[in-house]
Structure 1
Amino acid sequence: MRVFRGRGPTVDADREASRTLLEVAADGERAVRVWTPHRQVAFGRRDRRRDGYDSAHSTADERGFPPVERDVGGRAVAYDGETTVAFARAEPIADFRRGTGERYERLASDLEVGLASLPGLERDRLAHDEPEDAFCPGTHSLSTAGPNGRLRKVAGIAQRVRQNGAITAGILLVDGREELVGVLEAVYDALAIPFDPDSVGTVATARGPSNPDVVRQKVEDALVGDAEPTVEPVGALLEESTGQD
């Protein structure tokens, strides 16, 4: 399995590297990437159809989170550029009409295994569920029990499928909860979408480590599983992307 580490030099280059993962899968190879993306708010396609999108776009920018538009996933998500981790697993497929649910469940389970291996984060505090009015609401999320017993979302998962390959990916909040809540609350308010600030969790607030490098390694190990990894810098993906043009 090819394992890519690091992030691209710019937001656009980093996103291009992630898109190239799907090409790797379509060519018959499996790949994993777990990294810390640049600081940004990534809006989904449905966000762009909202009347308040322009205002939300400006709001993110004013708060120091450059706004971008992504191809997969649902509503807006925020990366602080330091502690927010992204993860992706790409794999070849024989039939794009089958296996979507199984890939979601497999990645969610592997992510849970990785998080449960972190010091201080007990597995019984994790749930394949999400609270009401969470950021980027979806049916494939991972949450932890908050201080009041209520669920707090720490990870969301999305999937993109093409003829011969699929990429299942997501976002994991490790630390920086206060700042992330602030920008998400402002953005969702501008979009006029219900959002509960208390629904946001992080690995750190769930008693896990706040060091994104520690979390990144555990998640990478879990997503690779029993496969033999071949580690490459993210620049290798960018070179492959250039070669496809």
Structure 2
Amino acid sequence: MRVVRGRGDDIEADRSVTQRLLAWAGTAGEPAVRVWRPHRQVAFGPRDANSDGYEQARQAAADQGYAVSERQVGGRAVAYTGDTIAFARIEPTDDGRQGIEERYAAVRVDIRDALRELGVDADRGEPDETFCPGSYSLQAPGGKLVGIAQRVTGDAVLVAGLIVVDGHDEIADVLDPVYDALSISFDPDTVGSIERGGGKVDPVAIIMRVEDALVGDHLGTVEWVDDLATVEWTGE
């Protein structure tokens, strides 16, 4: 298993790391894991981009000092403060249409168990009117703190998501006008976090624990984003 740490110099460079891993995993036939802290941004989903209030939502995010990006996986808009953690597990597949539910469930259990070891009593589900509603979320006392999505390409599958570490109030504040512009019901008090759920806020320790959970019993070869420029991406 290929394990990549760190983030790219900017939002686009950072996103390209995961995209290249997805392409690589399919041709190399080897899984990959990445757990990191993306740049400060509001990332909009495809449905957002086709909404009548999209330009107003983008402006609302920018007015609060957030960069704006669009992602290919996931549902509605999510916010990264710079300390929010993202995770991705990528697996090669012969038929990505098979096993979708099982992959969702496996990653959700892995993240749940990691959070419980970090002192957060997380469980499946989410409050009503929360951010980026989905069927594979995790919540804890205080609200939703994990969202999970899945993307299938021809020969690889990406199961990815985010974990709110702290800054839940900041995320609620930026998403409130964004969701209002998109005409989506949103209750700011539903945004949870590791901090709000009673866990210790130690981003490095959290990243390492989540990474361990996603790697599981695989033997991982660790690389850093800064070193990938010198690495040959087999099959790309």
Q: TM-score range by the shorter chain?
A: over 0.9
Residue number in structure 2 paired with 1:3: 3
> Gapped runs of 5+ residues in structure 2?
none
* Residue aligned with 1:137, SS: coil
Q: Say yes or no: does 1:58 pair with 2:59.
A: yes
Map residues 146-161 of structure 1 onto 2, 5 A cutoff: 146=142, 152-161=143-152
Alignment partners' CA distance in 2, 1:103 and 1:242:
25
Q: Contact 2:5–2:35 at 8 Å: present in 1 too?
A: yes
Where does residue 133 of structure 1 map in the other structure?
129
Matches within 5 A, 1:139-218: 139-146=135-142, 152-218=143-209
In the alignment, what sits opposite 1:149? none
Give the Cα separation in 1 of the matches to 2:229 and 2:14: 8
Matched with 2:14 is: 14
DSSP 3-state at the match of 2:56? helix
Change (3 A) 1:242 1:65: farther
In 1, Cα distance between the equivalents of 2:234 and 2:12?
Answer: 17
Question: Which amino acid in 2 is paired with 1:229?
Answer: G
**1:169 alignment partner AA:** A
Is residue 154–residue 202 contact of structure 1 (8 Å, CA) maintained in 2?
yes
User: Do structure 1's residue 44 and structure 2's residue 42 form an aligned pair?
Assistant: no
What CA deviation, in whole Å up to 9, does each residue of 1:132-185 have, x standing for no partner? Answer: 111000101011023xxxxx1100000111121101000110001111110011
Cα 1:217–1:17 change in 2 (3 A) is same
Report if aligned partners of 1:17, 1:241 keep a CA contact under 8 Å in 2. Answer: no
TM-score (norm 2): 0.95
For residues 202-241 of structure 1, what are the structure 2 equivalents within 5 Å?
Answer: 202-237=193-228
Structure 1: give runs of 5+ residues left out of the alignment: 147-151
What CA distance in whole angstroms lies between the structure 1 residues aligned with 2:78 and 2:34?
A: 19
Q: TM-score, normalised by structure 1?
A: 0.92
The one-letter code matched in structure 2 to 1:32 is V
Superposition deviation, residue 235 in structure 1: 3.5
In the TM superposition, residue 21 of structure 1 has moved relative to its aligned partner by 1.8
Give matches, 1:65-84, under 5 Å: 65-81=66-82, 83-84=83-84
- What is the Cα-based RMSD across aligned positions, in Å? 1.6
Tell me if structure 1 keeps the 8 A contact 2:24–2:235.
no
CA distance in 1: counterparts of 2:51 and 2:229, whole angstroms: 33
Q: CA deviation at 1:242?
A: 8.1
- CA-to-partner distance for each residue in 1:40-62, whole Å, 9 max, x for gaps? 00000000111111000011011
Aligned equivalents of 1:228, 1:207: Cα separation in 2: 32
Equivalent position amino acid for 1:117 in 2? E
Number of residue pairs the alignment of both structures matches:
235
Identity %: 49
Return the offset for 1:243: 8.3
Separation in 1, partners of 2:149, 2:228: 21
